Amino acid sequence: MTRDEFNAFCKSLPVTTHVVQWGRADVWKVGDKVFAIGGWTKGNTLGIIFKVSDIAYEVLKEQPGLRPAPYLASRGMKWIQHYDVPGLDDAGLRDHLQASHKIVARGLTKKKQRELGLYQI
């Protein structure tokens, strides 16, 4: 997945905002909470960080090209970094980015979800 493809996909998700920060990283948020970060390449591979469920974390953290996200995972948070090949294919990345968006959106207060017009739990 290229940087442009990453940004276009994140932009297509409901009520997202984009900022560039942390060393020119593309940071995507829903309700002012981060759900994905893209930047820092290794060779031709775009580094992408996303939030995952407990089960996905256990499955993904040992796969080649994936690892617990530096800084975030060391603080007990369930975030994975796609940083090298083979990692995930584009369809897998899109699935995990969409799941990350949903996890973060559902973690917002009910009031904030209503204000943003997001689904209700």
What pLDDT digit, counting tens, does each position of 59-113 carry? Answer: 999 999 999 998 776 677 899 999 988 999 999 999 999 999 999 999 999 999 9
Q: What is the CATH number of the domain that holds 112?
A: 3.90.1150.30
Residue 121 inside a domain? The answer is no
Say if 56 falls within a structural domain. yes
Count of domains forming the chain: 1
Structure-token pair, residue 75: 């603080």
Q: How confident is the model at residue 121 (pLDDT cuts 50, 70, 90)?
A: very low
Q: Are 37 and 25 in contact (CB under 8 A)?
A: yes
Cα-to-chain-centroid distance, residue 3: 13
Query: Does residue 18 fall inside a structural domain?
Result: yes
pTM of the model: 0.91
Domain range for 11 is 3-116
In a domain, 28, yes or no: yes
Residue 77 is assigned to a structural domain of this protein: yes
Q: If you average pLDDT over residues 13-19, what whole number do you get?
A: 96
